[in-house]
Structure 1
Amino acid sequence: MTDANLTAMFGAEGPLAACLTGFRPRPEQLTMAQNVAEALVEGHSLVVEAGTGTGKTLAYLLPALDSGLRIVISTGTKTLQDQLFHRDLPMIGKAVGRPVDAQLLKGRSNYLCLYRLNQLTSAADESSTPSRGADIELLRQWAERTLTGDTAEVSELPENSPLWPRVTSTVDNCLGSRCPLFDDCHVVAARHAAREAEMVVVNHHLLMADLAMKEEGFGQLLPGADALIIDEAHRFPDVAQGFFTIGFGTGQVLDLAGDVRSELVRGGAFDRPLEQALDELRKAAADARLTLSDGVANLPWDATRDDFKSAFDTLGASLDGVSSELAAIEDSSPGLQRCRQRAGAMFAAFEAIVSARDDQGLRWIRLARRTFTANVTPLDTAEELGALLESRPAAWVFTSATLAVRDNFQHFISRIGLQDVRTRQIPSPFPFADIARLYLPRGLPQPNDPEFTDRAVAEMRAAVIASGGHAFLLFTSHRALRRAAEILSDDSDFDFPLLVQGTEPRTRLLEQFAGQPRAVLLGTATFWEGIDIRGHDLVLVAIDRLPFASPGDPLLAARLEAIRSQGGNPFRDYQLPQAVLSLKQGVGRLIRDYDDYGVVMICDPRLTEKSYGRVFMSSLPPMPVVRDLDMIREFYVAHGVTES
């Protein structure tokens, strides 16, 4: 598509304006589209930060569709993935006058597994309660009529229903071509359709699985792609790191034990030695978890006691015992054969963790309430990731609203490992000087002061009263969130509807926030990004501290030490840029459209008192800074939010 054609497409009289309600020409959007088109034609790598309101989705979709290339688009969240496929692509097709040959492809856990559904319905105890029996019947009926097997079709069953893991597959338990229902497999059908499509919409986890060839038979998607567009690219490095991590935990072990038991029941078999080995495995898993502390946390391996390491060894030995018993009977069914393979792969991961040297990565434990996972994670995956990306002869386009620190992309580029990359920073088209203010209250103590949270919440309370509610109060720790909720809920004069993270599912809280006038929502990291609330519903975003990652996290501590040992500056090279990008995400919740307005409030005095505060300030949208609450009141009065 030529520049002239792009200009016409994004113009006031163009097809986008004709079919998209509220469309307005934006020079920034056109600039991004031109940069993406150039990258696709020339086959080079591009990293482009597009400020909020640029319209980056259309800015890459139109050039991608016009290029005639086979395109893979990857998103950081399933929400954006669904939006792209179900809303944006049909609208683009309408604008260009032809349907888009696109396929939506999700991870296998998002598709019904007919084999596992049959296992569930043939087990003896599934209808133990009326509600469980009704849910299983709901799944049976849906299975008969669905064409895709996409679990998102079943809105009646919550995402966290314990039935979903029972009727979907994982890489571990999928039987592959040995499955008796392979010809009817929804995952196979979805992947076949994706390989034939002009454009495929995936997410980062699925993309990395394909890059790393971690799913048998799925490494055929990317070799045929001419270009890959990575949206929500700020999430990509962390997702990638997870794919280079070796993990082994009690959740996997218990799933394996349950699947072996289901296979035995399905085949009408009873194998006493195997049953005894499974009992020992379950006991070893429970005993190992009991040696660790309660709660949810990440722990360094070296911080665990000797009794854990002994129990962990026993767990590995018990797993090896199950594997040996499975080897004796695995030929009796494909399911047991797959369980034997899973047990072998788990034991290999166990051995890799136990024998890992310090120079191979960090060993650490992720604690959940009833389970744990032991891991070994490389501290720097950039070289491996870069090699994977460059092994694919395709154009790579990375885009997000938060990739640069000031005007520098080096932090992001160094994490993805690409060597030859062009960058472009495109500012937001919104007139921040007119519609937004950055409120930095005076007189607050340093964040390490015991009184900081109480004092910050008092300042937030005053700002909420000035705004008339319609506020997000964002915190960098659950402890601060709980304290804020306690203070505000105990305040009889604070008569705003209070919504607190953890009391309801995230989606339900957002629905309540949008539906209740004057609502105030308290949240932590999960509410810092991926939320799009427009207009008068949200006019205040208050943040307690600069979002530096917790120094107690073992992965972070090890990464910082590695930077230091290589002669780098851990704060300058990693902690500061990561915090800047996180703050940009939080601030980005406020202004989402031209008609929006409001105040960003940051309570951390380091923003003005520390030299590095300038790095944060110069990375944020150009909002006028105010220090006095009266000026905030005047701003809200001027916009008709509250009366003078």
Structure 2
Amino acid sequence: MSDLLPLPDGEAPAIPGKHDDEIERLFGAGGPLGPAVGGFRPRKSQTEMAKAIAAAIDSQQTLIAEAGTGTGKTFAYLVPALLWGGKTIISTGTKNLQDQLFLRDIPTVRAALQAPVSVALLKGRGNYLCHYHLERTLQNGRMTSREDVGYLREISRFLKMTSTGDKAELARVPETAPVWNLVTSTRENCVGAECQYYQDCFVMKARREAQQADVVVVNHHLFFADVALKDTGVAELLPSANTIVFDEAHQLPDTATLFFGDTFSTSQVLELCRDVLAEGLAHARDGADWGKTVSVVEKAARDLRLTFPQDVVRLSLPQIAPSSDFFPALDTLREQLAGMLAVLEKQAERAETLEQCHVRGHELQQKLDNWKFDPKAKVAPGEEAVYWVEAYTSSLQLHKTPLSIAPIFNSQREGVPRSWIFTSATLAVKNDFKHFSEQMGLTGEVARTWPSPFNYEQQGILYVPQGLPDPNSLGYTDAVLDAALPVIEAAGGRTFLLCTTLRAVKRAAERLRDEFEKRGLKFPLFVQGDRGRTELLDQFRKAGNGVLIGSQSFWEGVDVRGEALSLVIIDKLPFAPPDDPVLAARIEVMERQGMNGFMHHTLPEAIINLKQGAGRLIRDEGDRGVLMLCDPRVISKPYGRRIWQSLPPFKRTREAAEVIAFFQP
């Protein structure tokens, strides 16, 4: 039987659902899924999870469903959703997973079930080529590099062949190439129904298809951007949706926080200036000295960034010294932006595009005006926010972030009754869902977990080395590498080294390059940042004896089955950086309410993150490997026990010899 948790508010376990027999047949040994999926085997936990989801869909209820690695959660929600879900929105963690669902998983299940459902893929507008902006860029010819010119040629060719305009289809131009910003639209610079290409617009086409489809695949960023901005086409879909499925639901609190807040960025100002100059010269050359109008605003935006000399900064507003140059520079930007808006107001009627620039400028001005914190002002419960600054190499962002997204998300879920399914391999801390459900405002909803079908005790070892120093001490990364090298050698490469900071990634790459050469080890080294994530993973899989060093983006959503990955090393427990202004404010509120911020928030967050990292190791019933967790606090601190108990039940050891013997043929 599935591992049923104590249900919230003393609810009784789910009674048998009306689709149970049908689900037993579909997921059973002679069912239709077997022939459709290579290597498909009936799994009790998958069947039970599918039953629970079908029951939640039937009764228009909410279900929080944690499924251990290898349960097959994608099929467990797809089968009931395609058969009984009505109009369904499936939201997943990344665009890569979105493509995988749309191109591979849904077609497989749909064919196996012979379900007559139509499916559409919807991404944010920045993923679709824009006819208008491409034409404008070709005319302006303002290309900065030879590479961009080549990319632009590829994009022009792509326009003639594509039916979707989705940039993911054009592999020859990297997704991160700056030229994409010039040939896609943003909410602010889209000309809308006035555009001469409106009938052919790829964004509008994708939205029309989504409107008509039975199943629409989106990603979390898109879902929440829409709830906040009403710009991504999801707003039109939500009212008619019967079922909403969030896959990789553990990412929702962070994603929702991002969008329910407000951000003003100096790069938005510089983009506006670029467009004002182009449109002013094109449509109202005699109306103003456009070069001068724009350059004072650009200078003010750059000066604001320069008030923080460091490369990367995260500070809450109260942490910025009152004597800082930041405050006068902010006032200057306000004044100069207002000056440019006054010019635009006079010229706006001369062209639709100038009117648009005026509207964008006004929205930016509004954000800037809202970004002020009065500690004496009374704030309604649920509306508390953190004001903070984040500086990157070339831009400065001013954020206003809600302290809790629960009230906002709850108001989104009110109204039309429908089923909400939240699923992931990591939602609970030692079988307790409280941390996730409180963040999302889902207290009192049914939460269930289904264990992984893997035999962790037979398939792997959890190894915590002895004698490591305190993780905050100076030479910590080198001490980790000293302990790791003999194990990497015994494993024959085939290693993921997951670090909690980019600094550790850099140090580990330098040191391992050096050590491999010294010891004559022919393990290819793959380092995050050297190439795109997908390319690094492909090369790692092909190599068969590689060592990949990565930080946060490799802790989750990465699937390497078989022998290519047999050792996962985690350098430290992934606690959020203590200088995170939003985290600090949340903890302060908890402590005021008499709770322990570390035990209630910081620790559960780190455990969920750690479970994701640990989940990279065993991806299949035939996989074997070692999870090497280097942080001595797992043993030395009282909270270490909670961490142990949340990880898969591997055999455990502190002896290096036992680990090295595990890798011997």
Indicate the TM-score class for this superposition, using the shorter chain for normalisation. over 0.9
Residue number among 376, 391, 414 corresponding to 2:400 in the alignment: 376
Q: State the alpha-carbon separation in 1 of the partners of residues 462 and 257 from structure 2.
A: 34
Contact residue 85 and residue 243 of structure 2 kept, 8 A: no
The one-letter code sitting in structure 1 at the alignment partner of 2:399 is N
CA offset at residue 608 of structure 1? Answer: 1.4
AA at the equivalent of 2:33: L
Q: 285, 289, 296: which one pairs with 1:269?
A: 285
Counterparts of residues 75-154 of structure 1 (less than 5 Å):
75-126=92-143, 130-154=146-170
**Could you tell me which residue of structure 1 aligns to residue 352 of structure 2?**
334
Distance 1:302 1:41, change over 3 A: same
Q: State the distance in 1 between where 2:116 and 2:519 align.
A: 56
Tell me the alpha carbon deviations over residues 195-238 of structure 1, each in whole angstroms, 9 at most, x when there is no partner: 11111000111111333353287521100101100001011111
- CA distance in structure 1 between the partners assigned to 2:615 and 2:129 by the alignment: 36
**In structure 1, C-alpha distance between the alignment counterparts of 2:315 and 2:229, rounded to whole Å:** 29
* Residue equivalent to 1:235: 251
139 and 567 in structure 1: CA distance in 2 versus 1, 3 angstrom threshold: same
Q: What's the CA shift for 1:576?
A: 0.6
C-alpha change, 1:356 and 1:136, in structure 2 (3 Å) is farther
- Which residue number in structure 2 is paired with residue 493 of structure 1? 519
Q: 1:474 to 1:494 in 2, by over 3 A?
A: farther
Q: CA shift at 1:162, angstroms?
A: 1.2
Is the contact between residue 210 and residue 222 of structure 1 (CA under 8 Å) also seen in structure 2? no
Q: Distance in 1 between matches of 2:464 and 2:366?
A: 53
Alignment correspondent of 1:590: 617
Question: Which of the numbers 11, 27, 38 marks the counterpart of 2:44?
Answer: 27
Q: Identify the residue that residue 574 of structure 1 maps to in structure 2.
A: 601
Verify the 8 A CA contact 1:274 1:326 in the aligned structure 2. no
- CA RMSD of superposed structures (Å): 1.8
The equivalent position to 1:215 in structure 2, one of 231, 236, 255, is: 231
Check conservation: 1:385, 1:417, Cα contact below 8 A: yes
The residue aligned with 1:512 is: 539
- Amino acid in structure 1 at the alignment position of 2:317: W
Partner residue, 1:443: 467
5+ long unaligned stretches in structure 1: none
Residue 325 of structure 1 corresponds to which residue in structure 2?
343
CA distance in 2, matches of 1:452, 1:461: 14
> Does structure 2 conserve the Cα–Cα contact (< 8 Å) formed by 1:273 and 1:325?
no
What corresponds to 2:328 in structure 1?
Answer: 310
Q: Partners in 1 of 2:298 and 2:495 — Cα distance?
A: 47
2:372 matched to which residue of 1?
Answer: 354
**Structure 1 residues 115, 392: CA separation in 2 closer, same or farther (over 3 Å shift)?**
farther
Distance 1:242 1:508, change over 3 A: same
After alignment, is 51-60 or 9-18 more displaced? 9-18
For 2:395 and 2:540, how far apart are their aligned partners in 1?
34
1:296 counterpart letter in structure 2? V
Q: Deviation digits for residues 142-197 of structure 1, max 9, x if unmatched?
A: 21222111111111111111110111111221222232322221111111111111
AA paired with 1:341?
A: V
Deviation at 1:133, TM superposition (A): 3.1
- CA offsets, 1:592-629, max 9 Å, x none? 11111100000111111212111111111111101111
Distance 2:36 2:260 in 1: 44
Whether 1:458 aligns to 2:476 is: no
Contact 1:247 1:374 in 2 (8 A): yes
Q: Secondary structure at the match of 2:430?
A: coil
**Residue type matched to 1:445 in 2?**
P
Structure 2 distance, partners of 1:636, 1:156, is: 40
Report if aligned partners of 1:361, 1:378 keep a CA contact under 8 Å in 2: yes
Deviation at 1:521, TM superposition (A): 1.2
Amino acid at match of 2:119: A
Q: Aligned partners of 2:520, 2:555: CA distance in 1, in Å?
A: 24
8 Å contact kept, 2:207–2:233: no
Distance change (3 Å), C-alpha of 1:141 and 1:270: farther
Q: 2:585 is matched by which residue type in structure 1?
A: A
2:417 match: 393
**Could you list the per-position Cα deviations for residues 238-259 of structure 1 after superposition, in whole angstroms to 9, with x for gaps in the alignment?**
1111112111111100111112
Mean CA deviation greater in 175-184 or 42-51: 175-184
Q: Which amino acid aligns with 2:32?
A: P
After TM superposition, give the deviation of residue 503 of structure 1 in Å.
2.5
Q: Label 1:392 to 1:342 Cα distance change in 2 as closer, same or farther (>3 A).
A: farther
Aligned CA distance change for structure 1 residues 558 and 130 (closer, same or farther; 3 Å): closer
d(CA) in 2 for partners of 1:57 and 1:245?
Answer: 31
Residue 357 of structure 1: CA displacement? Answer: 4.7
Match of 2:429 among 386, 405, 419: 405
Is the aligned partner of 1:537 residue 2:553? no
Cα distance change, pair 236–270 in 1 and its aligned pair in 2 (3 A): farther
Which runs of 5 or more residues in structure 2 are unaligned?
1-17
Query: How many residue pairs are counted as aligned between the two chains?
Result: 637
The CA deviation string for residues 451-499 of structure 1, in whole angstroms up to 9 with x for no partner, is 4322211111121112111001111122222222232222211623222
Q: Deviations over 1:621-643 (max 9, x none)?
A: 11110111111122222xx3xxx
For residue 184 of structure 1, the aligned residue among 178, 181, 200 is 200
1:51 is matched with: 68
Distance in 2 separating the partners of 1:273 and 1:386:
50
Deviation at 1:9, TM superposition (A): 0.7
Correspondence for 2:269: 253
Bigger shift: 132-141 or 440-449? 132-141
Counterpart of 1:619, as a letter, is: S
- CA deviations on 1:407-444 (whole Å, 9 max, x unpaired) are 10010000111244111111110111111110111122
**For the Cα contact (< 8 Å) 1:356–1:376, is it kept in 2?**
no
Map 1:164-179 → 2, pairs under 5 A: 164-179=180-195
* Bigger mean CA deviation after superposition, 355-364 or 572-581: 355-364
Picking from 626, 630, 637, the partner of 1:610 is 637
Among 417, 421, 424, the alignment partner of 2:445 is: 421
1:45–1:420 contact (8 Å) kept in structure 2: no
Q: 1: CA distance between counterparts of 2:172 and 2:473?
A: 47
Paired amino acid for 2:345 = A
Identity of aligned residues (%): 42
Which amino acid in the other structure matches residue 23 of structure 2?
Answer: L
TM-score by length of 2: 0.93
Q: Which moved more, 1:314-323 or 1:400-409?
A: 314-323
CA distance in 1, matches of 2:85, 2:541: 41
Question: Residue 574 and residue 68 in structure 1: after superposition, are their counterparts in 2 closer, same or farther (change >3 A)?
Answer: closer
1:386: Cα distance to partner? 1.8
Amino acid at match of 2:348: E
